[in-house]
Amino acid sequence: MPAMADSDIRSEGFQRVTAALQAAAHPHPPLWLDVAARTAQEAADALGVTLGQIAKSVVFRRKADDAAVLVVTSGDKRVDEAKLRAHTGPLGRADADFVKSRTGFSIGGVSPAGFGPSEGLGPPALFIDRELFRFDIIWAAAGHPNGVFKLTPDELVALTGAPVLDLVQA
């Protein structure tokens, strides 16, 4: 998993995440994987880690204001929409166009940092599921399906300021 060389083509999302991590003095720069990791399982396989160590980003559409809601949870868990609705109100599905327009990232590369322009709505409402705290090291998407970055669950909280809640199915 070499770090991306300066001569490689970098996506705008990967560049935004790199800049956001640098601005936050995050100790681990993003890595560019040789293979796309559009799913948590693909990312775990590419990194040689357990599925749960992948900080999977799941985006929903909040019905009240059409804003994006982003849940970061372990790759081996599923978000419980009823638990999430208790914090957000009614939710709808977020299709690929919605995700891209509200986060600045394509599905498979949605990062918890470095959001792009979002049609004047600001960054998504962000929540972290407590299941990530089962692991010392986790890996999050870095703005592109080939991009990832390493961090601890506590670093994720510090980076995002998001609340940690119980948001997954039992």
What is the model's pLDDT at position 7? 31
Q: Is the pLDDT of residue 4 over 90?
A: no
Tell me the pLDDT tens digit for each residue of 98-115: 999 999 999 999 999 999
Average pLDDT of the chain to the nearest whole number: 91
Residue 157, burial from CB neighbour count under 10 angstroms (0-12, 13-18, 19+) = middle
- Which two structure tokens, joined as six digits, stand for 125? 């409402």
Q: Is the pLDDT of residue 152 over 60?
A: yes
What is the model's pLDDT at position 5? 43
Q: How far apart are CA 136 and CA 141, in angstroms?
A: 17
Average pLDDT (120-143) is 93
Q: Is the pLDDT of residue 95 over 60?
A: yes
> 47 Cβ partners below 8 Å, 6+ apart?
1, 33, 37, 53, 54, 139, 148
Domains of the chain from N-terminus onward: 12-165 (3.90.960.10)
pTM reported for the whole predicted model: 0.91
Nearest to 57 by CA among 121, 135, 155, 145: 145
Residue with tokens 């799913």: 39
Tell me the pLDDT tens digit for each residue of 40-68: 999 999 999 999 999 999 999 999 999 99
What is the model's pLDDT at position 46? 95
